Each structure stands twice: as structure tokens, then as C-alpha cells.
Structure 1
Amino acid sequence: MRPVRRPLGLTLIASFFIAAGAATAQEATVAPPSAMVLENVPPVSASLAKRVEKYNEFKPTSYAAWHPTKLEMIVSRRHNNTPQLFRVAKPGAPLELLTDYAEPVRSAQYEPRHGKFYVFGRDSGGNEVFRAYRRDVGAKAASADAVPVTPDNRRVQDTAWAKKSGKLLYVTVPVGRQGSNDQISSTISIVDPMQPEQARVLAELPGGGWGSFAFSHDDKQLVYLEYVSANETYLWLMDAATGKSRRLTEKGSDKVAYGDPVFARDGKGIYTTSDRGSEFRRLVYIDLASSKETVLTPQIEWDIDEIDLSDDGKLLAFVANEDGSSVLRMMRTGDRKLVAQPKLPLGVIGSVEWHNNSRNLALSLSSARSPSEVYSVDAKTGAVTRWTQHEKMEVDMNRFVEPSLVRWKSFDGRSISGFVYRPDASKFPGKRPVVINIHGGPEGQSTPGFLGRGNYYTDEMGLIVIYPNVRGSTGYGKSFLKLDNGKLREDSVKDIGALMDWIATQPDMDASRVAVFGGSYGGYMTLAVSTMYPERIAAAVDIVGISNFVTFLERTESYRRDLRRVEYGDERDPDMRKWMEATAPANNAAKIKKPLFVVQGKNDPRVPWQEADQMVATVKKNGTPVWYMTANDEGHGFGKKANADYLFYSTIDFFNTYLLK
């Protein structure tokens, strides 16, 4: 239920990676899931599925919530086909299953005073119409369904607890609206989760960009964000009793991005992140009386991604994104001095949250050799405790390849970076085929985390995998973030062209066997690369990608349309519309010469299925091989293991047929 702070691109799409093998007519095959629709996708051999099975069972674990009075927590981990919630009574304790649904459950929050129940979010079929539910502590996973707390058929955008009263604030937007000129509003409500029918509307705010709500310690005020774009957000204050609000930060020509606001313990100020006067988001304190903004981390020239304040108000925990890797730090609020840095394993940190005891900090951490696991840090002793441990697997994760950070010059001389996963050269000598995996967003970032199935790529097939961070990626400054906006869109595609130039100079890379792969915005990039550089690639895999920004903006859900227009341009403007149509991959599909694999969730609210349909139809007319996979029970990416497994196997066959020949 906490707001998502990183785009899904790498997290979802990396799990779809591939291995070598192909079905023959004589072999037994694996039946596709019942909700899957296939066109030109060959049957999957049972022998292939068996061969890669040991790479199919990773179970990343993510932190969800501390119990307010006990030193125990809720985590999320896959159970059977989908991620579900588990209770962890103490570090290393067996995981106790709390939920067991056909749909994924990844987030939860305890009632903040006594922890007698928890609230979690769930959608249906990947439609992202999230609804909040209440479930009592002690209820068995197989017991009667949980009690809905928020209205049906409205998407929950954000939630926040009033810790003194135990009431829950939630933000909802209408769904099922796809008109280009729809005017929607966000409804801010507050409720006692034990009496959901008595919810009270605090305010109606225009548009769908409101989130990151947080109460003051006395429950009297709220701070929250108005999101306009990745480069422009504003802080607001609201009276929690009346709903009256005022903007805390000014609008001006110099756009500023804020994030993760939280009240100081005395309610006189706000801790947040801000890129005012800087390329990067720094930790700052804003005095409410004067609106003065004081930078607390001038020495850190990287984005601060996450912050959390201890309940006693004495310690701030925050995470710096240093070239894709996460560094956790703590600061005393009294003298604003950093304390000794916790000694965590090198990797990528997810959410961080203090226990109510103001001593123990929980976090999720992944690395190239470990799926996400949950840890805590003792602020008093500095001790790091691991709470969860992946079950033993046949594959040895300690032997997985570590990535290296590389840089290359693009068409305009700008330095672009990415992470390269290389196989063991003694096992796979000579020039190796390359897969370029482009993240989503576009305001996202590929980080050196866990590849999951993708490790089969390097360890068993000897393929080289490159995760580029083209212009427009987060983590490299606000100027870099804006370099692909509007009509600069194809400059990011040219960064991939420059990457292919760099690949041709590498002694271990085969420039004649390069595949491009991406999901969401990375799917658009995949399609755009296929039209701009058709002779330089061997194959392409597009997962839930945009094929035409005009039709995408006309059909995406209304609660997000205006937010996307700031990034991509407004399709209602004749000049911009003309440019979008001229550069759309769907309108340039005749240029695609190499085989294409298109994957789509039928319930996708972000990139509707028509984007895939129109691309497939156009490519087919040209006689270019195109495989098409649709799942009727998925949305923006495949979240169910059975679907992801079958996609994994089919991608194996696709690359075996068109890349590895």
C-alpha cells in the first residue's frame, strides 16, 4: 500500500529471461496456461522446461510492515503462483502464510496502535484497480475473505495512517475512463477500518497526481505531493479535520522535484528530498513558519531515493543511489550529523522503515548473487540482522556473475552508462551473442540487482547481457532526465545505436548477433530500435510496449494521461501529433526486417492491448516473422508464475531460432 517509488521495468521484465533449446515435433510439450492466447508461438518442449527448472524457482522476499508493539513483521514472497503475505515472528523464523489469493499481494500495513489487524491491497487480473482490505491478526490464510475497506471499482492510489487515532486515509481515482479530454479528480477520504461504511471525504483534488500522504505526529496535519512530472512536484499541507489545504512550495520557472515528505517530530518542519539548486535530489528540511529550505546532505552528489524518520524524531534513515547501487545512511536530527554507516551487503535497497521502538530499521536488499531478502539494522549497536533466508536451491547462486559498469559515447558526445553481465570466458570463449535489455519508465533505472532466470543467460548459454541507462533515466541528474522529453524522444533510441557501435569494438561481443529486449517504455524502445536500426539486430522482444504515442495517450487510463503528456507530449496539439505519428513504430513497421516477439496483458491499464495488436497486424503484412502472446488474466507485465514460466520457455525458443543459429 505504500507508494511505488521505482518503475517496474527491470523488476518485472528481468524475470522473463531465457535459455537455449527448441521443441521438436516428436517431443512431449508443455500446455500453455488456460488464459493464454498464442499466435505463431511454437509448442514448448517438456524437456526444455525440465532442463531450466532449477532457474525457475527463485522467491524474492520484500519487507512489508513492522508490527507496532512486537519485534516481528510481515513480508511478501511468492506462494505457489503469486506473491503473498507472510508473518515472520523473529529473525530466521519459519514464514507463516497470511494470505492465499489467485492475485498477487505485495503490500500490507498494520493498524498502528495495537496491531490487531492489517490492511493490504489487491487488484484483479493485473488491472491495477487496487482495493484495500482488512484482515484480523490470527486469521488463517484459507479462512473467509478479508473485509473491503475502500470502495469497489475505484483505484487506491495511496494510503496513510493517523497513528494516534488509528484511522486510515486513502486516495482513490475513477477507473474505466479512456477519453482524451476526461477531467478526473482524486478523492481524499479518511476512515476507521473497522467501520468502512462510515468513511468521510476530506477533499477532492483535480487530476490523478496526488500521493505520498503523511500525517503529523499529532494527527492534525497532512503533508503530500502534487506530481506533475519526474522533474516537477509540489509540497502541500492539509488540515486533517477540515480538508483545507495550501501549497507549501512555490511554482516558478525553475521546476523542482520533491519526494518522500515526512513531518518532524515537533510538527514545525518537513524532512523531504529536493533538487532545488542541484542536479540531484538532496535531503532537506523545510521550516513551516518561514518556508526556508535547508540542505542537509550537500556532500552527497547522488539522488536520495528513500527517507524515513524514527518515531521519536531523533534519527533519519535515507538511501543514496550511487551509480545504481544503494548506500544506507543515518543522521541525527539534533545536530544533523551522520552516524556510523551500517555495514550492509553491496546491493540495491528497497523500502526502509523504522519500528515504533525507534531503534530497529527494516529494509529489503538484493544483489547480483541474492534475490531480495529482508534485513534490519540496530541503530544503537550497528548490528545488521538477516530476517529471511531463501530456501536451498539446486543452482548455486554464489557463482552467479557480477556485473561491471561500462560507459560509451553517444551520437552527441554524451556519456551513457550501463551494466554488463559477462559469462565465464574460459567456459564460453570467443565472441558471444548480446542481449540489450532496456528498462521501462522512461523515468526508471537499471540497477545491479538480481537477474533471477536471467542468470541462465550467462551461466548456461554464454550470452552477454547489457542493461543500458539511456538518456531520460533517473539517477544521473535532472538535466539528464529531461533529455528525452517530447520531440527529443528518439535521441534515447540513438543511445542504443551508439551502444551497438561500442559492442562492435568489444573483442568478446558478436555485433552480428544482437537482440534487443524491453518492457513497457523499454518495449517502445525495442520497437523503435527495430525500425531505426533494422539491419543491426537479429531479433527483438517487446513486452507491453507503446507502438504509437498518439493511440497510447488516447487509450491509457484517464487518471494517468495528463501525467504522461508532460513526458511524451500532448497528442491534442496538431504539431506534436504530426511528429508522434511520423515517428511511431507502428507507422514505420515496414522497416522491421528481423523477427519480433510481442507480449501483452489483456487487462493492462497503462499500455492497452491495442498497442500490441496494431503492431503485430502491421508487421505480419510485411511478411516479417512475428510471434504474439496475450494473457487474459494479466496486466502490465506477467505477475503470475505459470504465465511467466511459459513466456520464459517461449522466449527460449524465439532466441534459439533467431539469435543463436
Structure 2
Amino acid sequence: MLMRMMVGGAALALCAAIGLGALAQTGGEAGAGVERRTRGALTLENVPETPPAVRERLRQYVNTRGASFQDWLPGGGMLIATRFANTTQIHRVDMPMGARTQITFYDEPVGGAAVRRDGSGDFFFARDSGGDENYQGFLMTPRGAVQLTEPGTRNQGFTQSQDGGLIAWALAPQDSQNYDIFLADPGDPASRRLILDGEGAIGPLDFSPDGTRLLLGHYISVTKSRRFVLDLRTGGLSEITPDLDVAYDGGEFTPDGRRIIVASDEGRDFLGLVEIDLATGARALLTPDLGWDVESFDLSEDGRMLAYVVNEAGASRLHLRDMRARRILPSPGLPPGVVFGVKFDPSGRRLGFTLNSATSPSDAYSYDLRTRALTRWTQSEVGGLDPAIFVSPELITWRSFDGREISGFYYRPRGAGPHPVIINIHGGPESQARPTFSSTIQYWVNELGAAVILPNVRGSTGFGKDFVALDNGARREDSVRDIGALLDWIDAREELDGDRAMVYGGSYGGYMVLASMTHYNERLAGAVNIVGISNFVTFLENTSGYRQDLRRVEYGDERDPAMREVLMAISPLTNAARITKPLFIIHGANDPRVPVSEAEQLLAAVRGNGGEAWLMLAANEGHGFARRENQDAQREAETLFFQRVLGLE
């Protein structure tokens, strides 16, 4: 489970100093005319004050919220994560559609709750500070939260034994790509001890039923990973299927401890579920050739029931299988959307999960395998908006420069048009645009009258291992050409205004935004770059040490002279002089993934070339904004930028 403070005057001062440092690099001439102000922990440059009418119309949209299923409580209720104030916190719900009782009360977001399996009702959770991603693990008890991890470290992958008597996790040093595995008795944090000095991005997945072995996963890239078993009595480490060059995802022991179930792409383009005999290495395929990835699964505690979710072109399909009878069971008729967090209750009779759709926020559900009853546990608010106004996207396709078919989701506003277009590019790049609820997109479509397209360019996940590798290394800009082909598709549509198209994206999507501007500046009206990569070489040199080797597999190794030359050539910073249209840069000062220096050097280059650049910098955020007040400010400023760039009222 993965979960998410430089706060106060000192942080704000640093935030302002970063902005000043960026301007200083451009010289006095570029800095002339820059209007700088602060709003809470935010430093804003060239961002106008928000008119009351804009803030008021946004109010309903920003007050939508979702709830996600976390785990089953001993009495049959649920733990959920939702937000009623500034950040997401853990709540309990004792019955379907019952009251949501808040349990954690932190300034920082809390997530990844898992109920301790000792019947006590205590639960584990994790949180970081100010978006720094230095996650700390805690056990919440009636007497308060007990910290299990060492302060100042970065921890992830918290996994407990079948009886809740042990918890294991991975510690990822900030300056090293080698993770360590720790073990502790949750009731005695002082028992914390190192059990494996790991190599690479390794982490725990599951304990054997008797608690003597630990299943570990080693992530190398989106197309390659490994599985190991660590003997907790002897310290012996043995690799499962060492001769295979495959991608694995997840992993659970069967109740007898003799086999594991894991998602694997062995011999296939997509991930399917496989049962592996630990003694012989024999593998049995549990799912047919679906033509799509199995993206998540859970095995009931008695091993009888298996639930798995298949990603079909971005939409989820939930499947159930009786492992004893070896047959497929009827599945609930779910509305179109995305399913995540599937987990059986201790009896194996009820399956809990979260369902999210394009027109409805995330909510917690359960499915009873005996009665076949689908039950909704929460109904999240949509800010008083009429859900009937929400727009469902359509799946579209277009041909790219090499004839390859590329797909995406198209949100079409009401009315004949021609409509301005916001191309919202996902990050990753090992990720996928999916038809999930976004109050932001619904606001753009319904209130701004903008069409929104979410492309899945080459390199996106969900379309097989061959497709995900099409943008690796020197082929990086082929994915940018997919955006160029999308602009051709837009130009051919009568209801769309190709002269008012802009790009928007975060993280790797921010790189795609900037690269699109350097390639298609004359065809785009402007861009919003959120925590984006501006120079691959400086990014790889400065990103946190625990991520460097993982990113080099995807982007290329900047230490190799030939690859360094390629990375420099394709970096938007190298070609920043081509960006002459308005650019909005948004970043968190504490970002451990894409350091704020990526925003700083880009801002200096664009302004140094005489370009128009807005800036929003948050002193108390990291890789994206998690705090409500900052999210609100971001949405307001984006609206003003869209009005400026797209000529909206």
C-alpha cells in the first residue's frame, strides 16, 4: 500500500526565494513587468486576482468529493477514505449508507488504511508531510496513533501477517536505488529490525499463512519484474522463476503456502493471472487470453474465491472464480467505470471495492457472492450539482504518423460549437487515461464550453507490453507526434475549433505539454505545465536517488554520452525558444520526483526569450497539490488562464 511539512513563514519565504531565483537568472529585462503576490503558501506571478463570479461558479465543482473502500472492520463495517475538510482522512461506516465517522484528524492527507488482522479493530495507515513522499507508517489504536517507522525515512509497501502479529515494509533511501526490508511487531515499535539489505526497488507483497516466509517483488521496469521468497527464520532468499524475463504484478500465497498467485505476461502481450508452484516452478494460467490486462485481484482467506479486475480499453470488468470448482461465477452488473481496491471480508462471502465512473465520484460498494446482491455503502456529494449535466466521454481513435491507431476519451460539450479544445495528457508515462470522474473536466466542459480529449499516446499502459515500449529511449518523441496527429483529427472536426486548442498535463504529462509546444507551437494556443520535466538530463541527475535507476530504464541513461546527447536534444528546455504562446507553470516546492528546479529553469528560459509565463508555486506541496486550499487556487487560476488563452467569457 502506498500513501501520501514545510509549512509556515519559513517555507513561504523559501517559495518566494525560488521564484526570485528563477527571475534572477533571466536578468532584469525579463523580470520587468512580472507581478508577484502571495496567497497562503502560494507564490503567484502574473496570475490575476480571481473575480468573485469565477470563484462562486467553481465553488460547487470543487466541493464534490469521493469515498474509497479501504478495508473490512471486525463487526462487518468498512473503513473508507474521504474528505470533509481540507485533506482526505480515514472514516468508518458501520452499515450501508450509514454515517461516516471520522477517525484520523491530520493536516496532511492520510491513506492506505488496513485493519489489523487480530480482531482488535486497530488499523495501519500512512502519511507524509507537505508532499515530500517520506511516508511514515502508523498503527491507530483507541489510545491514539503509534508510529512504526523511523522518522525522516521514506517507507512503503506495508504488509501484515495473517494474524496481524507482524508487519513488514520497504524503506527507500532518498539517495539510493536499493531498498531495505524491515519487520516489526506492531504492538512494539522498538522491535523494528532490518531483515534484508535489498538490491533495487524491492518490497513486500504477502506473508505465508504460517508467517515464516515473505513474498517480495522487485520492480525493474513496466515490462520486467521479479519475485522472491524470503525465509524469515534463516534469512535465505530464493527467486521464483529466475529464468523468465517477464513482468509480474502483485502476488499472494495460497492458503497452503505452497503456491502463489500473481499477474504475469509470460508468453502474452497482456497480464493474466498465473498460479505458480513454489517447489517445482510449474505455472498454470487461471484466466483465459482476455486481450486486456488483469489489473488487480484478491484471493479469499480460505482460498476458495478469486476476484480479479480486467482493464478493457480503460473501463473495468470485475470477474469472480471459484478456485475449488475451477469455474467462473456470475459477476455483479456494474455501471461502466473503473473498479479498484477489491478485497474479500474474512468470511470470503462479501467483496468490497471502490467504483468510479465518468459521471459519478468514487464510492464504496460490496457484493455478496451468495445472494448476488450489490450494495452501495456511500453516496458522495457532488456539490449540489445536478448529476444529469455531467458528460460521459466517448472512446475515439485516430491514425498517427506511422499508421498506428491511437485512442483517447473525448468529452463533447453541448451545442454545435465550434468548441475550444483542452488536450489533457496523462503522466507516467506508464499510466493510462481512463473514464473516471473529474469535477475539473466537468467544469471545463459545462461551464467553459471546452471540449476535452484525454489521449493514450504510445507508451501508455493498458494496451499490451509492445505498445508500452514504443516510446522508450530515443523513440521518446514518437509519442509527441501522436499529439500532432490528434491535432489533425481536431482540425477535421466541424464542432471543434483547431485554432483554440491547448495542451494540459502533469509530471510526464507536463513534459508532453512542453514537447508539444516546442513541436506544434504555431498550432496551439497555450499550455499548462504541472510539475513537468523540462530537461531529462537535469531531471535524472536531481530526482530522488530511489527513483533514478527506475527512470533511466524508461527514459535512457544520461551517464552514457550518446544517450545524454539524445536526451539533451529532445528536452523542452533545449528548444524553449520555440515556445512563444502563453505558458502556465505550476509546481510544489517539496517535489521529490520532479524537483522544482525543473520549473525554475524553464521559467527563466521562457521569460528570457520574451515569452509570457504565469507561475504558481506551493511551499507546502510536492508532486501535485493535495491540500484543498491550494487545489481551489489552482482551479481558479487555470480558469483565468483558459479565459485569456482561449478567448472565453
- Are the aligned partners of 1:32 and 1:646 in contact in 2 as well (CA < 8 Å)? no
Higher relative contact order, chain-length normalized (CA < 8 Å, sep 6+): 1
8 Å Cα contact 2:3/2:126 also seen in 1? no
Say which is worse superposed, 348-357 or 210-219, in terms of deviation: 210-219
Task: Please report how far the alpha carbon of residue 243 of structure 1 lies from its aligned counterpart in structure 2 after TM superposition.
Answer: 2.8
Q: Residue by residue, what CA displacement relative to the aligned partner does 1:412-443 show, whole Å, maximum 9, x if unpaired? A: 00000000000112xxx231110000001000
| Secondary structure, aligned partner of 2:512 | helix
Match of 2:155 in 1: 156
Q: Paired residue for 2:351, among 332, 343, 361? A: 361
Q: 1:47 aligned to 2:53?
A: yes
Shift of 1:165: 5.2
Please report how far the alpha carbon of residue 465 of structure 1 lies from its aligned counterpart in structure 2 after TM superposition. Answer: 0.2
Give the alignment partner of residue 209 of structure 2, picking from 214, 217, 225.
Answer: 217
**1:543 aligned residue:** 530
1:122-137 to 2 correspondences below 5 Å = 122-137=127-142
Q: What is residue 444 of structure 1 aligned with on the other side?
A: 431
The alignment's C-alpha RMSD in Å is 1.4
1:81 aligns to what? 86
Shift of 1:391: 3.4
Q: Does 1:189 align with 2:176?
A: no
Q: Report the counterpart of residue 199 of structure 2 in structure 1.
A: 206
Shift of 1:562: 0.4
What secondary structure sits across from 1:395 in the alignment? coil
Aligned residue type for 2:610: G
Q: Report the CA distance between 1:399 and its aligned residue.
A: 2.6
Aligned with residue 247 of structure 1, among 239, 254, 258: 239
Map Cα deviations across residues 59-111 of structure 1 (whole Å, 9 max, x no partner): 111111212x3201111111311111101111111100101111001221111
Q: Is the 8 A contact 1:33 1:642 kept in 2?
A: no
Query: Structure 1: which 5+ residue stretches go unaligned?
Result: 5-30, 140-144, 178-182
| 1:299 to partner: Cα distance | 3.5
Question: Secondary structure, in 3 states, of the residue corresponding to 2:229?
Answer: strand
**Conserved 8 A contact 1:202-1:242:** no
**Which of residues 223, 227, 230 in structure 2 aligns to 1:231?**
223
Aligned partner of 1:313 in structure 2 is 303
Out of 282, 287, 291, the residue aligned to residue 272 of structure 2 is: 282
Residues 130 and 156 of structure 1 are in contact (CA less than 8 Å); yes or no, is this contact kept in structure 2? yes
* Equivalent AA in structure 1 for residue 330 of structure 2: A
Structure 1 residue matching 2:482: 3-state secondary structure: helix
Q: Distance in 1 between matches of 2:283 and 2:310?
A: 20
TM-score (norm 2): 0.93
- Provide the C-alpha distance between the structure 2 equivalents of 1:439 and 1:616, rounded to a whole number of angstroms: 22
Specify the alignment match of 1:377 in structure 2.
Answer: 367
Cα deviation, 1:146-181, whole Å, max 9, x if unaligned, reads: 221111111112111112352111111222x3xxxx
C-alpha distance in structure 1 between counterparts of 2:3 and 2:292, whole Å: 22
Whether contact under 8 Å (1:314, 1:334) holds in the other structure is yes
Given that residues 180 and 202 in structure 2 are in contact (C-alpha distance below 8 angstroms), is that contact kept between their aligned partners in structure 1? no
Letter in 2 for 1:384: L
Q: Does 1:513 align with 2:503?
A: no
Work out whether 1:410 is the aligned partner of 2:415: no
AA matched with 1:121: A
Q: Which amino acid aligns with 2:63?
A: E
User: Match for 1:211: what amino acid?
Assistant: G
Q: Secondary structure at the match of 2:605?
A: helix
Counterpart residue identity of residue 83, structure 1: T
DSSP 3-state at the match of 1:374: strand
**Alpha-carbon shift at residue 583 of structure 1 (Å):** 1.3
Give distance in 2, aligned partners of 1:550 and 1:392: 43
Deviation readout 1:584-627 (Å, 9 max, x if unpaired): 10110000111000000000000000000000100001111100
Pairwise CA distance, 1:51: 2.2
Residue 317 (structure 1) shift = 0.5
Secondary structure at the counterpart of residue 82 of structure 1: coil
SS in structure 1 at match of 2:574: helix
Q: Which residue of 1 aligns with 2:172?
A: 173
Confirm whether residue 350 of structure 1 aligns to residue 340 of structure 2.
Answer: yes
> What letter matches 1:337 in structure 2?
R
1:3–1:158 contact (8 Å) kept in structure 2: no
Aligned letter for 2:209? H
Distance 1:32 1:402, change over 3 A: farther
Percent identity between matched residues is: 44
- Identify unmatched segments of 5+ residues in structure 2: 5-36
2:443 equivalent in structure 1:
456
Can you list the C-alpha shifts for 1:537-564, whole angstroms capped at 9, x where unaligned? Answer: 0010000000011000000000111011
The Cα of 1:384 is off from its aligned counterpart by 0.7
- Match in the other structure for 2:28: none
Q: CA deviation at 1:648?
A: 0.4
Q: Structure 1 residue 33: deviation in Å? A: 3.6
**Alpha carbons 2:60, 2:382 under 8 Å: kept:** no
Q: Hey, which bits of structure 1, 4+ residues long, moved more than 4 A?
A: none
Q: CA deviation at 1:218?
A: 1.6
What amino acid is the match of 2:106? Y
Q: Who is 1:648 aligned against? A: 635
* Paired residue type of 1:298: P
CA contact (8 A) 1:64 1:108 kept: yes
Work out the CA distance in 2 between the residues paired with 1:2 and 1:35: 26
Cα 1:202–1:242 change in 2 (3 A) is farther
CA shift in 2, pair 1:230/1:3, >3 Å: farther
Q: What secondary structure does 2:466 align onto?
A: helix
Q: TM-score, normalised by structure 1?
A: 0.91
Which of 376, 383, 391 pairs up with 1:386?
A: 376
Q: 1:577 to 1:406 in 2, by over 3 A?
A: same
